[in-house]
Amino acid sequence: MLRNTTQTGSGHDDVHDVPVETPGRKALRRLFRNSTALTGLAIVLIVTTLAVLAPVLAPHDPTDIQLRNRLQAPSATHWLGTDENGRDILSRLMYGARISLLVGLGTVLLRAVIGISVGLVSGFYGGRIDAVLMRITDVFIAFPSLLLALAIIAIWGTGLDKVVLALSIAGWPQFARLVRGEVLSIKERTFVEAGRALGIRHLRLIVRHVLPNALPIIIVYASLNISSPIIAEAALSFLGLGIQSPDISWGTMLSSAQRFMRTAWWLATIPGIAITVTVIGFNLFGDGLRDALDPRMR
């Protein structure tokens, strides 16, 4: 709180409190003034709400097989139609959003934990430690991420946990390189040099001073990166190597729709639109976060 003092004619000080806007509040104000970010946030919130409240909002049991209703086009009874087993597409779409979002958020979180740890150590200590860690990172980057994930799943097997782990291992190097670059810049700043001169332990310097200054760019990159695992999971499930029945994801819905592309357009179109809209939502929100948090964008 800054205090503004003005001298009055009577010789007394008239003190006025002038509130200081913190960087966090400034970023939030810029974020909520950004129509692109608000559009993306609205999409993300709608998809998340449908996923969380699927047991309440879903009009039918997503696993209930009704062969007499198989391959019905969208109607008043089944708003988005039914699949080859007579199951309601809208209900399956809501439940599928749960796993697709879980894969996206879980993968990004695990990628961030691994990548931030490697990037902080590599950038702060430099020297041989940096050389070794970056060569390991280069080995992972040399493989296409989806191809590496396919190889890992082929070894470990399919399932939700295997998909998240495989996509995390394939994607952490990008986080590591990003964080390392930020740390190389931050550690040369005056406050870090002062901390070293005062004898502050390296771990405390990293956790209390270096990491918080790198967080804005990490948050922006993570928000933009959530859509990548969602698409990758859909691709893996489409190939039969991702989420397995009875679990439902948008990728498994696309996979089961392959045989009916010409006769039942809604089977592939609807989950495809859901994936596209969700990815656009996360990307728009990530762009807005970048504009709000990165001073170089202003």
Write the pLDDT tens digit of every residue in 189-245.
Answer: 888 888 888 888 888 888 888 998 898 889 889 988 998 999 999 888 888 888 887
Residue 9's pLDDT is 45
Give me the mean pLDDT over the 53-72 stretch: 91
**Following CA atoms 27, 22, 187, 107 in sequence, which dihedral angle do they give, to the nearest 10 degrees?**
-40
Element (H, E) at 180: helix 160-186
User: Mean pLDDT for the chain?
Assistant: 86
**Is it the case that residue 260 has pLDDT exceeding 70?**
yes
Q: What token pair was written down for 282?
A: 């996360």
pLDDT of residue 295: 55
Q: Once rounded to an integer, what is the mean pLDDT over residues 250-266?
A: 88
**% of the chain at pLDDT higher than 70:** 91
CA triplet 113, 51, 44: central angle to 5 degrees?
A: 65
Residue 256 and residue 92 in contact, taking contact as beta carbons nearer than 8 Å: no
Predicted local distance difference test score (pLDDT) of residue 137: 94
**Residues 181, 116 contacting (CB under 8 angstroms):** no
Task: State the pLDDT at residue 7.
Answer: 45
pLDDT at 172 over 60: yes
- Write down all domains in the chain, each with its CATH number in brackets: 23-297 (1.10.3720.10)
Residues 248-276, mean pLDDT to the nearest whole number:
90
Backbone CA torsion sign across 86, 89, 91, 92: positive
pLDDT number for residue 163: 92
Lowest mean pLDDT among 101-110, 171-180, 192-201: 192-201
Q: Is the pLDDT of residue 90 over 60?
A: yes
Please give the Cα distance from 175 to 70 (Å, whole number): 45
Cis check for the bond before 55: say yes or no (omega within 30 of 0). no
Residue 5 has pLDDT above 70, yes or no: no
**Rounded mean pLDDT of 48-73?**
92
Lowest-confidence segment of 46-55, 117-126, 194-203, 286-295 by average pLDDT: 286-295
Confidence label for 28 from pLDDT (cuts 50, 70 and 90): confident
For the chain, percent of residues with pLDDT exceeding 90 = 47
Q: 109-118, 149-158, 237-246: lowest mean pLDDT where? A: 237-246
* From 16-25, 236-245, 272-281, the region with the lowest mean pLDDT: 16-25
